[in-house]
Amino acid sequence: MAKILGMLADGNWHIEEEVLEKTGLKPEQLEKIMKFLKDYGFVVVDAEKGLVKLNENFRRLLSQEAGQ
């Protein structure tokens, strides 16, 4: 999960295939993690386009934590 959050920390939209490629996860693993992140509001998903990005409030929180 840390790899995914690190990748999405830039706040940009990412293609799910890119996330798979860069994290080395299996599609089933990514699906479970994305479901968790989406269910709890950590990510925004555009299922129609296959895009994902961090929820802006959560991204800011991660940025603040990293800066400490």
Give the integer Cα–Cα distance in Å for 36 and 41.
Answer: 9
Of the candidates 2, 13, 22, 3, which has an alpha carbon nearest to the alpha carbon of residue 43?
13
How confident is the model at residue 12, as a pLDDT? 95
CATH number at residue 17: 1.10.10.10
pLDDT of residue 67: 67
Question: How many structural domains are present in the chain?
Answer: 1
Q: What is the mean pLDDT of each run of 10 residues along the chain (68 residues)?
A: 89 94 93 94 93 93 75
Query: What local confidence, expressed as pLDDT, does residue 68 receive?
Result: 53
Q: Domain span at residue 11? A: 2-67
Residues 6+ apart with CB under 8 A from 42: 5, 54, 55, 58
